[in-house]
Amino acid sequence: MTKPRIRRLPAVVLAAVGLLATGHIGATLAYTGPDTPLKASLQPALNRYFLGPLDQGWNLFAPGPYSQDEYMMVRACVSELDACAGGAEAGAEFTDWHNVTAEEMESVKYNVFANRENRQSKVVHGRFWPAASRLTDEQRSTVEGNHIDGDPVFGVDLYSSEAEETYNPSQLSNLRTYQRLEDTAVGLGTLYMQQEYGDAVTLVEVRMLREAVPSFAQRDDPPEERSQSWMNIGWRPAMEFDDDVKAAWA
């Protein structure tokens, strides 16, 4: 049998694309794998390469499996801003707490083909929680306070040179990530409350709750009250969205 001979163009393609493919797979192995000195030595190039469409992570339900119920709760002030600022004594009207996640999850029970709308608050919670966990105790108490005048939560524009002087790069990165996710949570909270109360929503308050699933050993006799942990965002002005966004939530 005669051996097939490779032509020049396919040979070049095989060498060039083969090399690129090998490099890409090696980088994927390093990027998606557990933290190693090799992975650390390849940073920040690895993070830059896998930003956007190549982003991936395969620590599915690991190292710790998903072992808690995550809830996002929201309430709103539906009076004028001045009244809201003065509280109930100034005649402000506050809504009850809405457990957004519990309401969304109702459609998941006994439904394998539930759509993704029922995961919105859960995934906001899932992104917000680790970002909030990286804050210091002092920063945590700052974000739990009320900031209704629209000024920066941490007292400084996090993208200004003043912020760069105040915080070291790692702290600043944590604060910026937190701020983005707080804005996302407040944004979802605003849209959720506006569905019911329309433009009357002037302020929103968001709370994140985690309840641990009873341990395997306790499965036959679960505790009456599950252990809970909270992350709270104080009162914030309702996010402003353009008409297209509001129309999608109407």
- Which one of 112, 137, 168, 221 is in contact with other proteins (CB under 8 A)? 112
115-134 residues in contact with other proteins (CB under 8 A) are: 115-117, 119-120, 122-124, 126-127
- Token match 């297209």: residue? 244
Tokens of 182: 């707080």
Q: Kindly indicate which of the ranges 2-10, 85-93, 134-142, 153-161 contains the residues binding other proteins, using the contact rule CB under 8 A.
A: 2-10
For other proteins, the binding residue among 38, 40, 45, 108 (CB under 8 A) is 108
Within 45-104, which residues bind other proteins (CB under 8 A)? 51-70, 102
Residue showing tokens 């402000």:
92
In the chain, the largest separation of any two C-alpha atoms, in whole Å, equals: 95
Instruction: Give the bridge partners for 233, in sequence order.
Output: 206
User: Rule CB under 8 A: is residue 1 a binding residue for other proteins?
Assistant: no
Going from the C-alpha of 216 to that of each of 209, 225, 227, 233, the distances in angstroms are: 21, 16, 15, 32
6 belongs to the binding site for other proteins (CB under 8 A): yes
Residue range at the interface with other proteins (CB under 8 A); choices 4-12, 91-99, 141-149, 200-208 = 4-12
Contact 204, 186 (CB under 8 A): yes
- Pick 61 or 89: Cβ nearer other proteins: 61
For the chain, what percentages of helix, strand and coil (3-state, to nearest 5) are there? 50, 15, 35
Using CB under 8 A as the binding rule, the residues of this chain from 201 to 220 that contact other proteins are 213-214, 216, 219
